[in-house]
């Protein structure tokens, strides 16, 4: 489709010499060209609106599927936590079986609340640490081996006067301190 004709451009100096009727005629010609251009664009604008609506529908379906997948994952975690398929952090620290290599950094340990939400250890702005206390002082563990070693020495997760594990919800800055029994671990598959 061809663009509507605009006519020749009148130079600003030439505009000064035109009468009011001449200016009105040029203005009317521009308005006619503008209306014709808008009319010519209408099918393209309608086409663009349709494309945007379909893209929005597609994005909505993707979000629906992601939510369904998250709900299913959380349900699976809750079921595994209830059935013992995922050990609690407290049980994993105290257990004789080594679930992870001692050098495994805590940011690589996949952990969940027993309600199903994925969490990371430590502060959201400084992830990957677990605080242990002997009741008077505290130490930080950054690897699974350090955490197990501190627990074997009688240190408990938490800070003096604040028992529990500091976790942050994955992908957010929301933090909380929860009992070690409320955190379950996804064990690596052999």
CA atoms within 13 A of residue 150's CA, in its CB half-sphere: 22
Residue 2 has pLDDT above 90, yes or no: no
42 and 105: one domain?
A: no
142 and 171: one domain?
A: yes
50 and 128: one domain?
A: no
CA angle 121, 172, 77 (to 5 degrees): 60
Residue burial 59-90, b: 16+ Cβ < 10 Å; e: rest: eeeeeeeeeeeeeeebeebbebbeeeebbbbb
Q: Residue 135 in contact with residue 163, Cβ under 8 Å?
A: no
CA 33 from centre of chain: 48
Residue 52, token pair as written in the block: 């945007």
Beta bridge partners of 163: 158
H helices then E strands: how many in the chain? Answer: 4, 9
Residue 190 has pLDDT above 70, yes or no: no
176 and 101: one domain?
A: yes
The pLDDT value recorded for residue 119 is: 93
Alpha helices in the chain (DSSP H): 12-17, 20-83, 89-94, 144-152
Task: Express each pLDDT in 80-105 by its tens digit.
Answer: 777 777 888 998 998 878 888 999 99
The pLDDT value recorded for residue 1 is: 66
* Spatial separation of the C-alpha atoms in residues 168 and 14, rounded to whole Å: 71
Tally the domains of the chain.
2
Where among 81, 109, 128 does a domain terminate? 81
Q: Residue 167 in contact with residue 176, Cβ under 8 Å?
A: yes
36 and 127: one domain?
A: no
64 and 109: one domain?
A: no
The pLDDT value recorded for residue 7 is: 78
31 and 48: one domain?
A: yes
Report if residue 3 sits inside a domain.
no
27 and 65: one domain?
A: yes
The pLDDT value recorded for residue 135 is: 87
The domain in which residue 179 lies consists of 85-185
Report if residue 20 sits inside a domain.
yes
- pTM given for the model: 0.62
Report if residue 1 sits inside a domain.
no
First to last CA, the chain: 64
């Amino acid at each position: 489709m061809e663009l509507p004709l605009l006519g020749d451009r009148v130079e600003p100096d030439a505009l000064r010499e035109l009468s009011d009727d001449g200016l009105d005629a040029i203005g009317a010609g521009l308005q006619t060209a503008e209306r014709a251009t808008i009319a010519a664009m209408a099918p393209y604008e309608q086409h663009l609106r349709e494309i945007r609506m379909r893209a929005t529908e597609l994005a909505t379906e993707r979000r629906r599927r992601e939510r369904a997948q998250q709900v299913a994952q959380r349900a699976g975690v809750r079921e595994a936590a209830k059935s013992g398929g995922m050990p609690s952090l407290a049980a994993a620290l105290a257990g004789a079986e080594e679930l992870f290599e001692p050098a495994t950094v805590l940011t690589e340990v996949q952990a969940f609340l027993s309600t199903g939400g994925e969490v990371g250890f430590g502060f959201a702005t400084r992830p990957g640490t677990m605080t242990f206390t002997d009741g008077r002082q505290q130490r930080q563990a950054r690897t699974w081996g350090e955490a197990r070693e501190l627990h074997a020495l009688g240190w408990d997760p938490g800070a003096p006067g604040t028992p529990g594990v500091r976790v942050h919800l994955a992908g957010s800055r929301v933090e909380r301190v929860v009992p070690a029994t409320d955190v379950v671990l996804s064990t690596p598959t052999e």
